[in-house]
Chain A
Amino acid sequence: MNRIIKFYHECGSPPSFYRITGHWLRPMFWLALTLSIYGLIDGLFLAPEDYQQGDSYRIIFVHVPAAWMSLFIYAIIGIAGIMTFVWRMKVAEAVMMASVPIGALFTAVTLLTGMLWGKPMWGTYWDWDARMTSELILLFLYIGVFGIYAAYDEDPRKAARLASLVAIIGLVNLPIIRYSVEWWTSIHQGSSISLMEGSTGIRDWDMLRPLLVMALATKFYFIYSMLSRARIYLLRTEKQKQWVQKAVLGAQPSGGAS
């Protein structure tokens, strides 16, 4: 137990965070790459055809994991935002701002793959149904968090605190937005995965496996990408500190040459 608490406190300090996460980057990257190659091959070639949608259902192996990530990352941003706002933790700031572009990217991927799937299935790229609309609004929320941060470029710490406030407001509103939008009649199919009997979801293990593998792969990609960005964010905001100069200059073998 004490080790966990110690680890937690270590992660709160930028130099130890930088040092510890440095060891994680490579394994996370390779895990993400291997899993997504396996998941894509399994999903796009090996998994059986759907009896109704044929081959075009296969886009869900990208679409659904991306959609999960778009919400998951917003939750991370919200939690990191609360930590930034209440405790002014620099590492939480870094995690929050590092997650924003990744989350926005996953949201955009969700929307794009959904549109590509919608054309053959619904006969239209875009339809104002509940989930597409709330996903689009989620993208606006991401843009809002990023926009306020970008607008305060002269003081990054203040900018991060304002961005954390925007993220928290968004987190409070997200359920309201989601349920209000749900009220429209929807032509979107129900959830793809459901363990309940008699539902119309995926029950075939051969289809489920690549989906879960892809879900894991996106998680590892997120951790890899977020940590790399957070590390650079910390280097930039702490650039006058000694540990940064040691970490950056110490890594170069010939020192003063560059």
Chain B
Amino acid sequence: MQFWSLMKRDVLVAWRKKSNLYQPLVFQLLIVTMFPLGLGAGAQTLSKIAPAVVWILALLSTLITLENIFKDDYEDGSLDVYVLSGMSLSLAALSKATAHWITTGIPVVLFAPVIGMLLHLPGHAYGILMLSLLLATPIFSLLGTVGSALIMNIKNGGMLLSVLVMPLLAPVLIFGAGAVLETTLGNTAMNHLLLLLGCTVLSVTLAPLAAAAAVRINLE
């Protein structure tokens, strides 16, 4: 019950402040414009780097939204209220990650084909692109929740957050971008997708525990 109400609240807060929703997408659009300008507009060059660029943009645009997952709640005191209410902190972390995924992850997944199209991603790769991002965006949100819980007490913790989260996301990028790349080359993407799914399951299980531990240390 608490899980749903907390999630609904977070989604509502994000919805009321619309910039949260479109900030990652505008970021992606801005950066993707740089690629043809820097590389030359040749369709062949662009379609070769498209799988990697779409994926890295999805990752970076999520990264810039992570800092505030816990920060606002920590600063205005609502985090103390969660703790006092006796709610399981792991559950609270899972719920915050879910809310973040709904407000950031899903838009990124839906927007990915647009970025792919701008970079001439080959037509048969779009399904795998969206599927791989669908599996990976929950990992971004979950690990982001951990990172955000670690740095919520720090001013300007954004850089530190990237340093903490980036190494953990390296495997996700390898499997995810690898899946799309294999598809564009005409190979099966199944191996990569299954490994990605493994990472998703692992982070759903472990990340809320780690985030809860970080919150507990920060609040004591």
Q: Which residues of A contact B (CB under 8 A)?
A: 85, 137, 140-141, 143-144, 147-148, 151-152, 158, 161-162, 165-166, 168-170, 172-173, 176-177, 180-181, 183-184
Question: Which residues of A are found within 8 Å of B167, using beta-carbon distances?
Answer: 137, 140-141, 144, 170, 173, 177
Interchain Cβ contacts under 8 Å between A and B, 9 examples = A141-B167, A144-B160, A144-B167, A148-B151, A148-B160, A151-B154, A165-B213, A169-B146, A181-B174
Interface residues on B, range: 20 to 34
Q: Give the 8 A-B CB pairs with smallest separation, nearest first.
A: A180-B171, A140-B167, A144-B164, A151-B154, A180-B174, A137-B167, A161-B217, A144-B163
Q: A148-B150, A148-B160 are in contact. Are A183 and B213 (CB under 8 A)?
A: no
**Do residues A140 and B199 form an inter-chain contact, with CB atoms below 8 A?**
no
Interface flag for B214 (CB, 8 Å): yes
* Docked complex Cα distance between A176 and B202 (Å): 11
* Docked complex Cα distance between A184 and B157 (Å): 33
Question: Which residues of B are found within 8 Å of A169, using beta-carbon distances?
Answer: 146, 168, 210
Number of residue pairs spanning A and B whose beta carbons lie under 8 angstroms apart? 68
Interface flag for B78 (CB, 8 Å): no
Interface flag for B70 (CB, 8 Å): no
**Do residues B217 and A165 form an inter-chain contact, with CB atoms below 8 A?**
yes
* Docked complex Cα distance between A141 and B165 (Å): 9
Interface flag for B30 (CB, 8 Å): no
**Do residues B171 and A140 form an inter-chain contact, with CB atoms below 8 A?**
no
CB-defined interface of B62-78 with A at 8 Å, one 1/0 digit per residue? 00000000000000000
**Do residues B171 and A166 form an inter-chain contact, with CB atoms below 8 A?**
no
Q: Please provide the chain B residues from 196 to 217 with a CB less than 8 Å away from any CB of chain A in the complex.
A: 199, 202, 206, 210, 213-214, 217
Interface flag for B126 (CB, 8 Å): no
Tell me the minimal C-beta distance from A33 to chain B in angstroms. 34
Question: Which residues of B are found within 8 Å of A144, using beta-carbon distances?
Answer: 160, 163-164, 167
* Docked complex Cα distance between A143 and B166 (Å): 12
CB-defined interface of B161-180 with A at 8 Å, one 1/0 digit per residue? 00110111011001100100
**Do residues B217 and A158 form an inter-chain contact, with CB atoms below 8 A?**
yes
Tell me the minimal C-beta distance from B167 to chain A in angstroms. 5
Q: A165-B214, A180-B175 are in contact. Are A172 and B164 (CB under 8 A)?
A: no
Question: Which residues of B are found within 8 Å of A147, using beta-carbon distances?
Answer: 160, 163-164
**Do residues B214 and A162 form an inter-chain contact, with CB atoms below 8 A?**
yes
* Docked complex Cα distance between A154 and B206 (Å): 29
Question: Which residues of B are found within 8 Å of A183, using beta-carbon distances?
Answer: 174, 178
Most buried by A among B167, B175, B206, B220: B167
Q: A180-B171, A180-B195, A181-B174 are in contact. Are A166 and B154 (CB under 8 A)?
A: no
